[in-house]
Structure 1
Amino acid sequence: MDVPDQSPAQRAGAEDRVWTVPNAITLLRLLLVPVFAVLIFTERDVAALVVLVVAGASDWLDGVVARRFAQTSRLGRALDPAADRLYIFVTLIALAWREIVPWWLVLLIAGREVLLAALVPVLVRHGRHRPLPVHLAGKAGTFALMYAFPLLLIANAPGALGTVAWTLGWACALWGVGLYWFAGLVYVEQTVRIVRADRVARASGGRA
Protein backbone atom coordinates (compact mmCIF):
# COMPACT_ATOMS: atom_id res chain seq x y z
CA MET A 1 0.00 0.00 0.00
CA ASP A 2 1.41 3.41 -0.98
CA VAL A 3 1.16 6.21 1.55
CA PRO A 4 -0.10 9.41 -0.14
CA ASP A 5 2.19 12.44 -0.20
CA GLN A 6 1.58 14.82 2.66
CA SER A 7 1.76 18.59 2.73
CA PRO A 8 4.33 20.25 5.06
CA ALA A 9 1.50 21.11 7.48
CA GLN A 10 0.29 17.50 7.48
CA ARG A 11 3.81 16.21 8.06
CA ALA A 12 4.29 18.63 10.95
CA GLY A 13 1.01 17.48 12.51
CA ALA A 14 1.96 13.84 12.00
CA GLU A 15 5.23 14.42 13.84
CA ASP A 16 3.28 15.52 16.94
CA ARG A 17 1.04 12.44 17.06
CA VAL A 18 1.05 10.37 20.23
CA TRP A 19 -1.45 7.59 19.60
CA THR A 20 0.08 5.61 16.77
CA VAL A 21 0.58 1.88 16.29
CA PRO A 22 4.41 2.10 16.53
CA ASN A 23 4.15 4.12 19.77
CA ALA A 24 1.74 1.54 21.20
CA ILE A 25 4.22 -1.23 20.36
CA THR A 26 7.04 0.73 22.01
CA LEU A 27 4.87 1.33 25.08
CA LEU A 28 4.26 -2.41 25.34
CA ARG A 29 8.02 -2.95 25.18
CA LEU A 30 8.48 -0.45 28.02
CA LEU A 31 5.81 -2.19 30.12
CA LEU A 32 7.74 -5.45 29.75
CA VAL A 33 10.89 -3.91 31.32
CA PRO A 34 9.84 -4.53 34.98
CA VAL A 35 8.70 -8.05 34.06
CA PHE A 36 12.08 -8.69 32.47
CA ALA A 37 13.88 -7.20 35.48
CA VAL A 38 12.10 -9.51 37.95
CA LEU A 39 12.82 -12.55 35.78
CA ILE A 40 16.51 -11.87 35.28
CA PHE A 41 17.21 -10.87 38.89
CA THR A 42 15.45 -14.01 40.15
CA GLU A 43 17.50 -16.11 37.69
CA ARG A 44 14.54 -17.34 35.64
CA ASP A 45 16.74 -17.04 32.59
CA VAL A 46 14.65 -18.94 30.05
CA ALA A 47 11.61 -16.74 30.69
CA ALA A 48 13.84 -13.65 30.69
CA LEU A 49 15.25 -14.64 27.32
CA VAL A 50 11.74 -15.09 25.91
CA VAL A 51 10.79 -11.58 27.06
CA LEU A 52 14.01 -10.21 25.56
CA VAL A 53 13.26 -11.89 22.23
CA VAL A 54 9.73 -10.45 22.24
CA ALA A 55 11.14 -7.00 23.05
CA GLY A 56 13.67 -7.29 20.22
CA ALA A 57 10.98 -8.38 17.77
CA SER A 58 8.74 -5.48 18.81
CA ASP A 59 11.66 -3.08 18.31
CA TRP A 60 11.97 -4.28 14.73
CA LEU A 61 8.21 -4.28 14.18
CA ASP A 62 7.54 -0.72 15.34
CA GLY A 63 10.20 0.58 12.96
CA VAL A 64 8.71 -1.33 10.03
CA VAL A 65 5.18 -0.09 10.78
CA ALA A 66 6.34 3.50 11.29
CA ARG A 67 8.10 3.59 7.94
CA ARG A 68 5.54 1.58 5.98
CA PHE A 69 2.52 3.61 7.10
CA ALA A 70 4.22 7.01 7.64
CA GLN A 71 3.61 6.93 11.40
CA THR A 72 6.94 8.30 12.58
CA SER A 73 6.69 10.82 15.40
CA ARG A 74 8.83 12.83 17.79
CA LEU A 75 7.55 10.78 20.70
CA GLY A 76 8.45 7.54 18.94
CA ARG A 77 11.97 8.74 18.19
CA ALA A 78 12.41 9.55 21.90
CA LEU A 79 10.76 6.43 23.35
CA ASP A 80 12.40 3.86 21.08
CA PRO A 81 16.04 4.43 22.13
CA ALA A 82 14.89 4.96 25.73
CA ALA A 83 13.35 1.48 25.75
CA ASP A 84 16.53 -0.02 24.30
CA ARG A 85 18.65 1.68 26.96
CA LEU A 86 16.39 0.43 29.74
CA TYR A 87 16.73 -3.17 28.58
CA ILE A 88 20.50 -2.78 28.27
CA PHE A 89 20.89 -1.34 31.76
CA VAL A 90 18.55 -3.76 33.47
CA THR A 91 20.36 -6.68 31.86
CA LEU A 92 23.79 -5.26 32.51
CA ILE A 93 23.17 -4.50 36.18
CA ALA A 94 21.58 -7.91 36.72
CA LEU A 95 24.52 -9.69 35.07
CA ALA A 96 27.00 -7.69 37.14
CA TRP A 97 25.03 -8.34 40.34
CA ARG A 98 25.09 -12.06 39.49
CA GLU A 99 28.85 -11.78 38.80
CA ILE A 100 28.50 -12.84 35.17
CA VAL A 101 30.08 -9.61 33.88
CA PRO A 102 32.44 -7.21 35.71
CA TRP A 103 31.22 -3.90 37.10
CA TRP A 104 33.69 -1.97 34.93
CA LEU A 105 31.53 -2.89 31.94
CA VAL A 106 28.54 -1.28 33.67
CA LEU A 107 30.56 1.87 34.35
CA LEU A 108 31.85 1.99 30.78
CA ILE A 109 28.36 1.96 29.29
CA ALA A 110 26.90 4.21 32.00
CA GLY A 111 29.71 6.71 31.38
CA ARG A 112 28.62 7.13 27.79
CA GLU A 113 25.04 7.84 28.90
CA VAL A 114 26.27 10.42 31.42
CA LEU A 115 28.21 12.09 28.61
CA LEU A 116 25.11 12.27 26.41
CA ALA A 117 23.00 13.59 29.30
CA ALA A 118 25.55 16.37 29.82
CA LEU A 119 25.07 17.44 26.19
CA VAL A 120 21.32 18.06 26.57
CA PRO A 121 21.47 21.39 28.49
CA VAL A 122 24.19 22.60 26.12
CA LEU A 123 22.02 21.83 23.10
CA VAL A 124 18.95 23.47 24.65
CA ARG A 125 20.94 26.57 25.53
CA HIS A 126 21.95 26.89 21.88
CA GLY A 127 18.49 26.42 20.43
CA ARG A 128 18.34 22.66 19.85
CA HIS A 129 15.17 21.40 21.54
CA ARG A 130 14.88 18.00 19.86
CA PRO A 131 17.14 14.95 20.17
CA LEU A 132 20.10 14.57 17.86
CA PRO A 133 19.44 12.07 15.05
CA VAL A 134 20.37 8.53 16.05
CA HIS A 135 23.66 7.57 14.42
CA LEU A 136 24.05 4.25 12.61
CA ALA A 137 26.97 3.33 14.90
CA GLY A 138 24.74 3.86 17.94
CA LYS A 139 22.06 1.60 16.47
CA ALA A 140 24.66 -1.05 15.61
CA GLY A 141 26.16 -0.82 19.11
CA THR A 142 22.75 -1.26 20.71
CA PHE A 143 22.05 -4.21 18.40
CA ALA A 144 25.38 -5.84 19.36
CA LEU A 145 24.74 -5.36 23.09
CA MET A 146 21.22 -6.77 22.82
CA TYR A 147 22.78 -9.87 21.26
CA ALA A 148 25.64 -10.01 23.76
CA PHE A 149 23.63 -10.20 26.96
CA PRO A 150 21.49 -13.25 26.11
CA LEU A 151 24.66 -15.02 24.97
CA LEU A 152 26.37 -14.19 28.26
CA LEU A 153 23.37 -15.65 30.09
CA ILE A 154 23.63 -18.83 28.03
CA ALA A 155 27.37 -18.92 28.85
CA ASN A 156 26.39 -20.47 32.20
CA ALA A 157 25.42 -23.63 30.33
CA PRO A 158 27.87 -26.52 30.68
CA GLY A 159 30.08 -27.82 27.90
CA ALA A 160 30.65 -26.51 24.40
CA LEU A 161 27.41 -24.49 24.36
CA GLY A 162 28.55 -22.39 27.30
CA THR A 163 32.03 -21.91 25.85
CA VAL A 164 30.76 -20.78 22.45
CA ALA A 165 28.14 -18.51 24.03
CA TRP A 166 30.77 -16.94 26.32
CA THR A 167 33.12 -16.25 23.39
CA LEU A 168 30.45 -14.81 21.10
CA GLY A 169 28.84 -12.90 23.96
CA TRP A 170 32.05 -11.10 24.90
CA ALA A 171 32.87 -10.44 21.24
CA CYS A 172 29.47 -8.79 20.77
CA ALA A 173 29.74 -6.92 24.10
CA LEU A 174 33.14 -5.39 23.35
CA TRP A 175 32.18 -4.57 19.76
CA GLY A 176 28.94 -3.02 21.02
CA VAL A 177 30.71 -0.89 23.63
CA GLY A 178 33.17 0.32 20.99
CA LEU A 179 30.37 1.33 18.62
CA TYR A 180 28.41 2.85 21.52
CA TRP A 181 31.31 5.13 22.41
CA PHE A 182 32.08 5.94 18.78
CA ALA A 183 28.48 7.12 18.36
CA GLY A 184 28.81 9.10 21.60
CA LEU A 185 31.83 10.94 20.21
CA VAL A 186 29.91 11.63 17.00
CA TYR A 187 27.16 13.24 19.12
CA VAL A 188 29.79 15.36 20.88
CA GLU A 189 31.12 16.50 17.50
CA GLN A 190 27.58 17.35 16.33
CA THR A 191 27.01 19.34 19.53
CA VAL A 192 30.22 21.30 18.99
CA ARG A 193 29.11 22.19 15.45
CA ILE A 194 25.68 23.32 16.69
CA VAL A 195 27.26 25.48 19.40
CA ARG A 196 29.68 27.09 16.93
CA ALA A 197 26.92 27.75 14.38
CA ASP A 198 24.74 29.34 17.07
CA ARG A 199 27.57 31.57 18.25
CA VAL A 200 28.30 32.69 14.68
CA ALA A 201 24.60 33.40 14.12
CA ARG A 202 24.39 35.45 17.32
CA ALA A 203 27.56 37.36 16.47
CA SER A 204 26.23 38.13 12.98
CA GLY A 205 22.91 39.26 14.45
CA GLY A 206 24.70 41.50 16.91
CA ARG A 207 26.61 43.26 14.12
CA ALA A 208 23.54 43.75 11.95
Structure 2
Amino acid sequence: MRQLPNLLTTLRLLLTVPIALLLLAERYGQALSLFAVAGFSDALDGFLARRFGWTSRLGSMLDPVADKLLLVTSYLCLSVTQIFPWWLAAVVLLRDAVIVGGATFYRLLVGPFEFRPTWLGKLSTLLQIVLVLVVLLELSLLPAFAPLRWPLIVLALAVSLASGLHYVWVWACKFHSARNGPLA
Protein backbone atom coordinates (compact mmCIF):
# COMPACT_ATOMS: atom_id res chain seq x y z
CA MET A 1 0.00 0.00 0.00
CA ARG A 2 2.91 2.32 0.73
CA GLN A 3 3.79 2.44 -3.00
CA LEU A 4 0.23 3.29 -4.10
CA PRO A 5 1.01 7.02 -4.61
CA ASN A 6 3.97 6.08 -6.83
CA LEU A 7 1.78 3.67 -8.81
CA LEU A 8 -0.79 6.42 -9.35
CA THR A 9 1.95 8.78 -10.52
CA THR A 10 3.18 6.09 -12.91
CA LEU A 11 -0.37 5.71 -14.22
CA ARG A 12 -0.44 9.46 -14.89
CA LEU A 13 2.85 9.20 -16.77
CA LEU A 14 1.48 6.32 -18.86
CA LEU A 15 -1.76 8.20 -19.61
CA THR A 16 0.22 10.95 -21.33
CA VAL A 17 0.65 8.88 -24.51
CA PRO A 18 -3.02 7.96 -25.08
CA ILE A 19 -4.09 11.52 -24.18
CA ALA A 20 -1.64 12.88 -26.76
CA LEU A 21 -2.87 10.44 -29.41
CA LEU A 22 -6.50 11.33 -28.70
CA LEU A 23 -5.75 15.07 -28.88
CA LEU A 24 -3.93 14.65 -32.18
CA ALA A 25 -6.86 12.60 -33.51
CA GLU A 26 -9.19 15.40 -32.33
CA ARG A 27 -11.16 13.00 -30.14
CA TYR A 28 -11.66 15.59 -27.44
CA GLY A 29 -14.33 13.83 -25.37
CA GLN A 30 -12.14 10.79 -24.85
CA ALA A 31 -9.10 12.98 -24.20
CA LEU A 32 -11.13 14.88 -21.60
CA SER A 33 -12.07 11.63 -19.87
CA LEU A 34 -8.44 10.48 -19.63
CA PHE A 35 -7.27 13.97 -18.63
CA ALA A 36 -9.84 13.88 -15.80
CA VAL A 37 -8.56 10.45 -14.69
CA ALA A 38 -5.01 11.82 -14.72
CA GLY A 39 -6.11 14.84 -12.66
CA PHE A 40 -7.94 12.63 -10.17
CA SER A 41 -4.89 10.36 -9.84
CA ASP A 42 -2.74 13.43 -9.15
CA ALA A 43 -5.05 14.60 -6.37
CA LEU A 44 -5.38 11.09 -4.93
CA ASP A 45 -1.65 10.31 -4.89
CA GLY A 46 -0.94 13.60 -3.12
CA PHE A 47 -3.68 12.98 -0.57
CA LEU A 48 -2.53 9.41 0.15
CA ALA A 49 1.12 10.40 0.45
CA ARG A 50 0.33 13.18 2.95
CA ARG A 51 -2.47 11.47 4.87
CA PHE A 52 -0.70 8.16 5.47
CA GLY A 53 2.92 9.32 5.34
CA TRP A 54 3.51 7.33 2.16
CA THR A 55 5.93 9.88 0.78
CA SER A 56 9.09 8.79 -0.96
CA ARG A 57 12.04 10.37 -2.69
CA LEU A 58 10.96 8.72 -5.95
CA GLY A 59 7.45 10.15 -5.60
CA SER A 60 8.71 13.64 -4.81
CA MET A 61 10.73 13.60 -8.04
CA LEU A 62 8.30 11.68 -10.25
CA ASP A 63 5.13 13.61 -9.37
CA PRO A 64 6.17 17.01 -10.78
CA VAL A 65 7.70 15.30 -13.83
CA ALA A 66 4.38 13.53 -14.52
CA ASP A 67 2.46 16.79 -14.12
CA LYS A 68 4.77 18.75 -16.41
CA LEU A 69 4.96 16.00 -19.02
CA LEU A 70 1.18 15.77 -19.21
CA LEU A 71 0.73 19.55 -19.45
CA VAL A 72 3.52 20.23 -21.93
CA THR A 73 2.40 17.31 -24.11
CA SER A 74 -1.21 18.55 -24.02
CA TYR A 75 -0.15 22.08 -24.98
CA LEU A 76 2.03 20.83 -27.82
CA CYS A 77 -0.75 18.59 -29.18
CA LEU A 78 -3.37 21.34 -28.91
CA SER A 79 -0.95 23.64 -30.70
CA VAL A 80 -0.26 21.12 -33.50
CA THR A 81 -4.03 20.80 -34.06
CA GLN A 82 -4.29 24.63 -34.04
CA ILE A 83 -6.56 24.75 -31.02
CA PHE A 84 -3.88 26.73 -29.14
CA PRO A 85 -1.56 29.23 -30.79
CA TRP A 86 2.00 27.91 -31.18
CA TRP A 87 3.38 30.76 -29.07
CA LEU A 88 1.35 29.66 -26.04
CA ALA A 89 2.85 26.16 -26.20
CA ALA A 90 6.29 27.75 -26.65
CA VAL A 91 5.88 29.91 -23.53
CA VAL A 92 4.67 26.95 -21.43
CA LEU A 93 7.59 24.84 -22.63
CA LEU A 94 10.10 27.67 -22.16
CA ARG A 95 8.86 28.39 -18.62
CA ASP A 96 9.39 24.77 -17.64
CA ALA A 97 12.81 24.76 -19.31
CA VAL A 98 13.75 27.87 -17.29
CA ILE A 99 12.73 26.15 -14.05
CA VAL A 100 14.62 22.93 -14.84
CA GLY A 101 17.60 24.86 -16.22
CA GLY A 102 17.80 27.06 -13.13
CA ALA A 103 17.65 24.04 -10.83
CA THR A 104 20.29 22.21 -12.86
CA PHE A 105 22.55 25.26 -13.02
CA TYR A 106 22.24 25.79 -9.26
CA ARG A 107 22.94 22.13 -8.48
CA LEU A 108 26.04 22.07 -10.69
CA LEU A 109 27.51 25.35 -9.43
CA VAL A 110 26.38 25.40 -5.80
CA GLY A 111 25.17 21.97 -4.72
CA PRO A 112 22.02 20.21 -3.53
CA PHE A 113 18.90 22.20 -2.79
CA GLU A 114 15.26 21.71 -1.90
CA PHE A 115 12.96 22.94 -4.63
CA ARG A 116 9.68 24.46 -3.54
CA PRO A 117 7.20 25.79 -6.08
CA THR A 118 6.23 29.44 -5.58
CA TRP A 119 2.61 30.56 -5.28
CA LEU A 120 2.96 32.16 -8.72
CA GLY A 121 4.27 28.88 -10.11
CA LYS A 122 1.32 27.00 -8.60
CA LEU A 123 -1.10 29.57 -10.01
CA SER A 124 0.49 29.24 -13.44
CA THR A 125 0.13 25.45 -13.38
CA LEU A 126 -3.47 25.72 -12.16
CA LEU A 127 -4.37 28.13 -14.98
CA GLN A 128 -2.69 25.89 -17.54
CA ILE A 129 -4.76 22.93 -16.31
CA VAL A 130 -7.99 24.96 -16.23
CA LEU A 131 -7.37 26.15 -19.80
CA VAL A 132 -6.93 22.59 -21.08
CA LEU A 133 -10.04 21.41 -19.22
CA VAL A 134 -12.21 24.32 -20.41
CA VAL A 135 -11.09 23.88 -24.02
CA LEU A 136 -11.66 20.11 -23.93
CA LEU A 137 -15.10 20.70 -22.42
CA GLU A 138 -15.82 23.30 -25.11
CA LEU A 139 -14.77 20.99 -27.93
CA SER A 140 -16.54 17.88 -26.62
CA LEU A 141 -19.59 18.79 -24.57
CA LEU A 142 -20.14 22.49 -23.95
CA PRO A 143 -19.64 24.76 -26.97
CA ALA A 144 -20.97 27.59 -24.76
CA PHE A 145 -17.48 27.65 -23.17
CA ALA A 146 -16.00 29.00 -26.44
CA PRO A 147 -15.98 32.66 -25.28
CA LEU A 148 -13.76 31.65 -22.34
CA ARG A 149 -10.95 30.32 -24.54
CA TRP A 150 -9.15 33.54 -25.50
CA PRO A 151 -9.42 35.28 -22.12
CA LEU A 152 -8.03 32.12 -20.50
CA ILE A 153 -5.25 31.90 -23.10
CA VAL A 154 -4.24 35.50 -22.37
CA LEU A 155 -4.41 34.93 -18.60
CA ALA A 156 -2.44 31.66 -18.76
CA LEU A 157 0.13 33.35 -21.00
CA ALA A 158 0.55 36.36 -18.69
CA VAL A 159 0.86 34.28 -15.52
CA SER A 160 3.23 31.79 -17.21
CA LEU A 161 5.49 34.65 -18.32
CA ALA A 162 5.36 36.27 -14.87
CA SER A 163 6.06 32.93 -13.21
CA GLY A 164 9.01 32.21 -15.51
CA LEU A 165 10.52 35.64 -14.78
CA HIS A 166 9.88 35.13 -11.08
CA TYR A 167 11.74 31.81 -11.13
CA VAL A 168 14.68 33.52 -12.86
CA TRP A 169 14.70 36.05 -10.00
CA VAL A 170 14.39 33.31 -7.34
CA TRP A 171 17.27 31.27 -8.82
CA ALA A 172 19.44 34.40 -9.15
CA CYS A 173 18.82 35.27 -5.49
CA LYS A 174 19.55 31.70 -4.35
CA PHE A 175 22.74 31.64 -6.38
CA HIS A 176 23.86 35.04 -5.08
CA SER A 177 23.09 34.06 -1.47
CA ALA A 178 25.00 30.80 -1.80
CA ARG A 179 28.01 32.54 -3.30
CA ASN A 180 28.06 35.91 -1.53
CA GLY A 181 25.63 35.79 1.37
CA PRO A 182 22.04 37.07 1.46
CA LEU A 183 21.00 40.10 -0.59
CA ALA A 184 20.59 43.23 1.52
Which TM bucket (shorter chain)? 0.7 to 0.9
Task: Give the deviation of 1:130 after TM superposition.
Answer: 4.3
CA contact (8 A) 1:155 1:166 kept: yes
Query: What are the within-5 Å matches in structure 2 for residues 93-132 of structure 1?
Result: 93-130=76-113, 132=115
**Aligned equivalent of 1:60, options 43, 57, 65:** 43
Aligned length: 180
CA distance in 2, matches of 1:23, 1:184: 28
Q: Give how far 1:69 is off.
A: 0.9
Percent identity, aligned pairs only, is 31
**Aligned residue for 1:26?**
9
Q: 2:165 pairs with 170, 181, 185, which one?
A: 185
CA distance in 1: counterparts of 2:113 and 2:180, whole angstroms:
21
Cα pair 1:22 1:66 within 8 Å, conserved = yes
- Could you give the per-residue CA deviations for residues 33-61 of structure 1, whole angstroms, max 9, x where no partner exists? 11111111112211111000000111111
Structure 1 residue 125 displacement after superposition: 2.7
Counterpart residue identity of residue 193, structure 1: C
Decide whether the 8 Å contact of 2:28 with 2:140 is kept in 1.
Answer: no
What is the alpha-carbon distance in structure 2 between the residues aligned to residue 46 and residue 85 of structure 1? 22
Q: Deviations over 1:93-114 (max 9, x none)?
A: 2211111121111112122122
How far the C-alpha of 1:118 sits from its partner, in A, is 2.5
Counterparts of 2:154 and 2:111, CA distance in 1: 32
Distance 1:185 1:78, change over 3 A: farther
Counterpart check, 1:146 vs 2:129: yes
* Aligned with 2:151 (options 151, 154, 171): 171
Give the secondary-structure state (helix, strand or coil) at the position aligned to 1:29: helix
CA distance, structure 2, for counterparts of residue 21 and residue 186 of structure 1: 34
Q: Please give the secondary structure, in 1, of the residue aligned with 2:14.
A: helix
- Residue 172 to residue 71, structure 1, CA distance change in 2 (3 Å): farther
SS of corresponding position for 1:128: coil
1:35-114 aligned within 5 A: 35-114=18-97
Higher RCO (CA 8 Å, separation ≥ 6 residues): 2
Change (3 A) 1:107 1:32: same
Deviation at 1:199, TM superposition (A): 1.7
Q: How many angstroms does 1:20 deviate by? A: 2.4
Once residues 168 and 177 of structure 2 are traced to their aligned partners in structure 1, the CA distance between those partners, rounded to angstroms, is 14
CA contact (8 A) 2:49 2:55 kept: yes
- TM-score, normalised to structure 1, is 0.76
Contact 1:26 1:83 in 2 (8 A): yes
Structure 1: tracts of 5 or more residues without a match:
1-18, 202-208
Deviations 1:65-105 (A, max 9, x none): 11111122332222222112112122212211111121111
Distance 2:180 2:128 in 1: 39
